[in-house]
Chains A and B, each alone.
Chain A
């Protein structure tokens, strides 16, 4: 009577494995494992252990010749009963291969994710050219409840998956599982991740209304996209805080409409007299043009003073308004605040020196 050896999955020679088998004879008291090289039949391991279990953990210290990754071997098992009677050895051994433990890990892993969605990418490599057969990436709650999965993928050319749905200020675990073509199992283990991201002020961005009598949720976005386009690219930013328009201009034409009364505030520095700073106009630009120009002069005084001139040209009728006056004149590094507002059809302009820029 012979023991029947179960399939031996590939394992790393430096870690060994446990060979499992079935046996229908007398109660085993000992078992013996013999391992030979598949190609030369050279004896590599011959060890008997006392055990009632139907398994034999390979004792790496008892190896006659060390196991080598990339090499195929045959394993044989015999059983000893209480009378020390050894069972028949298999005529054909059970073949197995030793393979270096593959590298199987997240290659773009970040402990803290700064977005509600993230693409996780796996890295796989194996010294002995063992190919990857399948993989999956799973997201778990902190208590290891499965929340989402990529599903098992057999596409080994692209080892990535996008997960979207991470809640802010929440901790998750991520884990990837895989299998090589020879059945070697891969597992990254549970890896903790935290999600922290900025949430926009939602009240103005996404408006949701429960409509009791309609049986519906009214969904309305209040997303405003308004990008300024420069006359000359690239933009010159100063300390990443200021946009230099001394020899440039910026135009906004999308995402807004000043219809009726409004206020428009601009903070700036580095202005020169008699240069137009602001121009606002309607689509039909001949019908409404509003400009602001910085002026200096005596203006009825014996000192040189400065002010901002607001010129409103509406249907060929021009109205000119002046801001409060500046004395002394602001320096080239003084930050100026300028406010234009339209109140019931009437325009006003105010300005203030906010002090030197940092």
Chain B
């Protein structure tokens, strides 16, 4: 190094000075006719000058300059996008349902990261990331698929999810309103079905206890966790209850939360009653009960006229 400058005039020269780890955040290219630009986290010591077309986890930028200057993996930017939405559907369904929406004000807003608790176990589920233009039109969609498979019962609301692992018993009733009327002079009674209400209710009993990262039970602090569960169950908010098999209900708890000691003061079961209060697959119900923050895909009431059309032909 001489007067603040180190000269390393050939690739073989060993440089003794390293650049400080300040991240590069700006690129300016000029005085050329540009064909392609590419940046990767890999160190391309033996590069064959063939830039991979496919993006991978290490790709940072890739631009071909074929009519635009985009160097990301999508051809839109803050200039053109007003919102992004995450949509969901069960594989085989047609309609996507928006479960997440975000306004785009800067490039960081394109990043989406969240936990979706509102799906049953043992289903193939497709998610889509959709950019919405500033004039409200869907732009290119990116979709992916995942198979849900959960280990136990879970109960959750918008903010928190609790696993229900130990000694779980869920006694379920399918309710409907009907009435048997015995009429004089008639051998058989009349059965009236009143209204269209049909819903599940039940009583769930389980030993709520916290598991740490290595699945060890936190018995000592079990009392705190039980109190936390009591507060959660009684917060008045609708909840999603789902089983490891595939059942999923939107419920509200009713009545009291009771505890019973199973032979030891630290082995305590809690029991609560629940009643279905909505459809966990219905955007309108999810929104109205505070599970999701958008109802742009709220289901329309089915108009029977549609079906009368269909049957005419």
Contact = CB atoms under 8 A, between A and B. Distances in A.
A272 B60 CA distance: 28
Interface string B59-81: 11101111101111110111101
A227 B146 contact: no
Contacts of A219: 86, 100, 112-116, 127
Of the listed residues B44, B163, B306, B309, the one surrounded by the most CB atoms of chain A closer than 10 A to its CB is B309
Nearest to B305: A152
B219 interface: no
Contacts of B111: 221, 223
A122 to B, nearest CB: 14
A225 B77 contact: yes
A253 B23 CA distance: 12
B35 A268 contact: yes
A277 B28 CA distance: 8
Contacts of B96: 164-165
A176 to B, nearest CB: 10
Interface residues of B, number: 121
A283 interface: yes
Interface of A is mostly: strand
A147 B94 contact: yes
A341 B60 CA distance: 13
B135 interface: no
Interface string A245-264: 11011111111111111111
Nearest to B215: A213
Contacts of B110: 221, 223-225
A122 B20 CA distance: 62
B276 interface: no
B75 to A, nearest CB: 9
Interface residues on A, range: 35 or more
A318 B71 CA distance: 29
Contacts of B39: 256, 258, 262-265
B156 interface: yes
B186 interface: no
B150 A288 contact: no
A327 interface: no
B193 to A, nearest CB: 27
Interface string B32-59: 1111111111111101010100111101
Interface in B126-156: 127-130, 137-138, 140-152, 154, 156
Contacts of A1: none
Contacts of B236: none
Interface in A297-354: 312, 314-324, 335, 337, 339, 341-350, 352, 354
B183 interface: no
A263 B161 contact: no
A324 B11 contact: yes
B239 interface: no
B17 A258 contact: no
Contacts of A290: 19, 24
B117 to A, nearest CB: 5
Contacts of B4: 316-318
A255 B72 contact: yes
Given A225-B72, A227-B77, A249-B28, A212 B151 contact: yes
A335 to B, nearest CB: 6
Contacts of A258: 23-25, 39, 60
Contacts of A226: 61, 63, 70-72, 77, 107
Given A217-B116, A267-B35, A139 B94 contact: yes
B26 A251 contact: yes
A218 B20 contact: no
A157 interface: no
Nearest to A117: B138
Contacts of A214: 115, 154, 161, 163
B117 A216 contact: yes
A202 B37 contact: no
Interface stretch (A36-44, A60-68, A234-242): A234-242
Interface string A197-219: 00111111111111111111111
Contact of A271 (B31, B141, B242, B303): B31
Q: Which of the listed residues B1, B26, B73, B100 has the most CB atoms from chain A within 10 Å of its own CB? A: B26
Nearest to B116: A217
A277 B71 contact: no
A229 B69 contact: yes
Contacts of B30: 231, 245, 248-250, 275-277, 279
Contacts of B300: 151
27 contacts: A136-B309, A146-B310, A152-B309, A164-B138, A177-B309, A200-B74, A200-B140, A204-B73, A205-B73, A206-B144, A210-B146, A212-B149, A216-B117, A217-B148, A219-B127, A220-B112, A222-B57, A257-B24, A262-B41, A265-B44, A265-B49, A280-B27, A312-B19, A320-B8, A322-B11, A341-B43, A344-B18
Given A215-B156, A263-B44, 4 more contacts: A165-B93, A252-B27, A257-B23, A320-B8
Of all A-B residue pairs in the complex, the 8 with the closest CB atoms, nearest first, are: A215-B154, A345-B18, A228-B69, A249-B30, A258-B24, A224-B72, A208-B146, A270-B33
